[in-house]
Each structure stands twice: as C-alpha cells, then as structure tokens.
Structure 1
C-alpha cells in the first residue's frame, strides 16, 4: 500500500463532510485515502470519484477507501503504517447524539469520546513523528462550535469536541517552530446525514415537523442556515495550503459570527 509523499488521510471519509473533504484535497493534488467503518459507503465514495475522473472533472487519481475502526489502536497503527508518509491528516470522524444530562448513558459518553476524541488522538499520534522528521505536515481537526461553548442536551458531544479542540492545541504547541501545523475548523450545524438524523430526533421528541425542527437549528445561530460541507472543506483547504504555513494552533469558527475566535 505504499503511496506518494503527497498523501492525505481523512477519517470519516464516507460521510457528508468527508466526501467534500475528499473532493477538496483531490483538487489540490493529493492522493486521498478515506478511512471509515462502512465498506458500502467507502465503495460509493470510490465510485463517485471514479465517475468524476471519467467525466473529466479531475485528472487526479480517485479516492481510495480503507476500512478502519479509527477508535481501535491496533487497527489504526496497522493501517497508517502500511500507507507510508502522510502529508495531511484530517480528523473528521465523529458521532453526535443529544439527551439531557440526566438521561445521558455512560455508554453514550464513552462512544462520543471514542469517536470524536480518541480517534483523533490515535491517528495524530501515529503521523506526527513522520511529519516532524520530514519537517512538513498538516493536521486539521473537524471540531464544532460545541468545542467552544456549552449547549443544553449535548453533554457527551460537547465534552468530546472540547477534548478534540484541546488536543489540536496541544499538538500545535508541540510542533511550534517546525514545518508542521495543527489547526481546527469549528462549524455550526452542517448539511449532512448526521444533522438530518438530529433533526429527525428533535421532531420525534418535540412533535414538531422536520421542517420546523431544522428551522430551530438554523435559528440558534446568526448564520440563518446550515453550513454547507463544501464550506468546511474550503476551510480545511486553506489550512493545508502553503498560504497557511504560519498558521498554527488556530480554530476557525464557521457560524456566521455567533462565537468569536
């Protein structure tokens, strides 16, 4: 599985944001490996990029999907060791559920920490030594506005995203002064299947229509709409670019102005 030096690895590559990230980094000339647990979604992602290449939308190699449970230490170490040098790592894998604190189960708490924080820790820990040795690399964390503020009914999710943002800042402090950077993107609600599931849960619990439930989400911030996956990908594109070589330890908030950096 040896690859070129311009290799980008994206966790959660088969999801809504993940697909946009794959497109962005392919267009920037990276060979992209998408990690995920669903073989079906990864096959769909591969087929989508093959069709785009056949249609002349890209002259770069299609995205390659690799099945990997990024919360498992042995599996992440095995997969990343086989890939070779990683130039860009985007920690995008995650999960989100909502419940009042008193109804949040320990299982849900552990699941959120594993998917949103431990996965990023395992992947980043594996690639950082090589990046430092080559004195070049980019690590980007897809966090959330929930990493910077607390909102009701999101104890497990918010805590795990705070942990992810804290990890991004620690990595930035450790690589400061090198050619490696660590930054985070913190969007509000993004138009993805995960958000659609959240809307459905809100509708079921409150008796609202799905349209009213989604409106409640968009009304919670100044943007007045959902963030598009491509907007998240564009922010990542900036962080991995040469133009951002001096940007390290920053969190870029995508919410229309509700949370100040």
Structure 2
C-alpha cells in the first residue's frame, strides 16, 4: 500500500466521518496527508488518532480569502479530496434565500474555490487527482433538500468540466456519490425524522437504509476505498466520472 508514496493529499472536512476515513485510507496508501476543516479541535484529535505524517489546517471552504490562505500555508498538493459539506432540510416553499445560498456556498462554491487553488500547480507538475465527494443527491432528487441537491448536481457538472480542461495535463477529476452513510449528517437526519414524525431513531434509520437494496447504511471506509482507487497513479484513465457508492440504489 505505497502507491501514493511521495504525494501530498489534502482532505477538506477531514475532522470526522467520510473525511476522516479518507484521510486514514490515503495515509495507509503512503501519502502525506493534510486534514482541513473549520474546527481545529476535531482536526487535532483526528491527527492524534491517525498518527503518521498528518498535518492540520483550518479553513472555511466557502470563503475565498480563507481558502487562499489555507492552501498557501500547506504548499503543493498532489491529491485534493473536496469532502467538506453541509445539509439543511426544508420544503422548497420554505427555503429561504439565505439557506439556498449557504448550501451552494459550502457544497459547490467550496469545491470550486479549493480546486482552483491546486489545479494550476498540478498541471505544471503533470500529475494531480481531484476527487469531489458528492452524493446520490447529485444523481437524483430527494424531497426537502432541494438546495443541497442543486448544489451536489452542480458539483458533478463542475467535475466534468474540470476533467475536460485538465485531461491533457496528467490531472484527473472525479466525483464519488455516496448514498446514506453512517456519519454525523445521517445522525442529524435521523434526529430530524424522529422529531417531526414521532418515530423512534431505529425506525428512522431503517427508513433511510431502505433506499439501499442491501438494506443498510454505507460505511465511511467504503467511500474512502473508492477515493483511494481514484487517487492511485494507475487510475489515470478514470476521469470525469460520478461513481455511486450506494449498494445499488442507483444503477
């Protein structure tokens, strides 16, 4: 597991959930890893858990100045995993403009800003991997999360455009699209369902898992394994793809 030896990987939203699992997977693959996020305490705790060659850097992915400062601080990046994301639920007719813009800012604009910071350097060095953690919401619709779905659909469009622009530069750009995954976001969804419907947490979890033909939630390490595959040097022919990691929910 040393295919990534000598490469520097940055993972946004790296303090927990999918981001933490991705950081662990890339580290095991031989990469030097920088975890980025807004909460330094979570990042530092994750660095202790991982051990090895791991650095941390605070960032607000939706703020251009913060993104520029963060990437200037960490130096050249060979692998970028745009994992930072946020979900808020509301029926469309109750979705405020502020909520709409927040979902686009974190989930879509953040991917754009971070990718823009690394793509020139990757092109000049003739190697790079940009992997965007989207969602099955990037490939289908879900009720009550229209802003989130719109943002994640945008991530897939951005992925495809960047892939074409960078295709001759030795840089690949792909998206992984997890279904409901065992993370804080799903825990929040379970709590919301329970609060609004009166159902137990177990029933709410079962409802989310039912969308997966395997009848379960995806595990963060399963998403991380797909990221690792796309990050490998020998995955150079895979670009512009949106790969569903969802147990057959989408085919």
Q: TM-score, normalised by structure 1?
A: 0.92
* Contact kept in structure 2, 1:116 and 1:160, CA below 8 Å: yes
1:114 and 2:105 equivalent?
Answer: yes
Match of 1:166 in 2: 157
* Equivalent residue runs for 1:188-207 within 5 Å: 188-207=179-198
**Conserved in 2, the CA contact under 8 Å of 1:200 and 1:210?**
yes
d(CA) in 2 for partners of 1:154, 1:256: 21
Matching of residues 76-91 of structure 1 within 5 Å: 76-91=67-82
Unaligned runs of 5+ in 2: none
The question of whether the paired residues in 1 share the 8 Å contact of 2:6 and 2:30 is answered with no
Equivalent residue number for residue 88 of structure 2:
97
2:33 aligned with 1:32: yes
Q: Tell me, what secondary structure is at the counterpart of 1:26?
A: helix
Deviation at 1:257, TM superposition (A): 1.7
Distance 2:136 2:249 in 1: 9
Taking the aligned partners of 2:154 and 2:65, their CA distance within structure 1 comes to: 22
- Distance (whole Å) between structure 2 residues aligned to residue 193 and residue 72 of structure 1: 23
Equivalent residue number for residue 123 of structure 1: 114
- For the pair 1:226 / 2:226, whether they are aligned, the reply is no
Off by >3 Å, runs of 4+ in structure 1? none
* Aligned position for 1:16: 17
Shift of 1:5: 5.8
Select which of 125, 132, 139 maps to 1:148: 139
Q: State the 1:125 CA deviation.
A: 0.5
Counterpart residue number, 2:50 = 49
**Could you report, residue by residue, the CA deviation over 1:14-33 in whole angstroms, capped at 9, with x for unpaired residues?**
12111101100101111111
Asked if the contact 2:26–2:228 (Cα under 8 Å) also holds between the matched residues in 1, the reply is: yes
| Structure 2 contact 11–19 (Cα < 8 Å) conserved | yes
Retained in 1: the 8 A contact 2:16–2:46? no
What is the root-mean-square deviation in Å for CA atoms of aligned residues?
1.3
Partner SS, residue 13 of structure 1: coil
Q: CA offset at residue 243 of structure 1?
A: 2.6
TM-score by length of 2: 0.95
Which of 235, 242, 257 is 2:248 aligned to?
Answer: 257
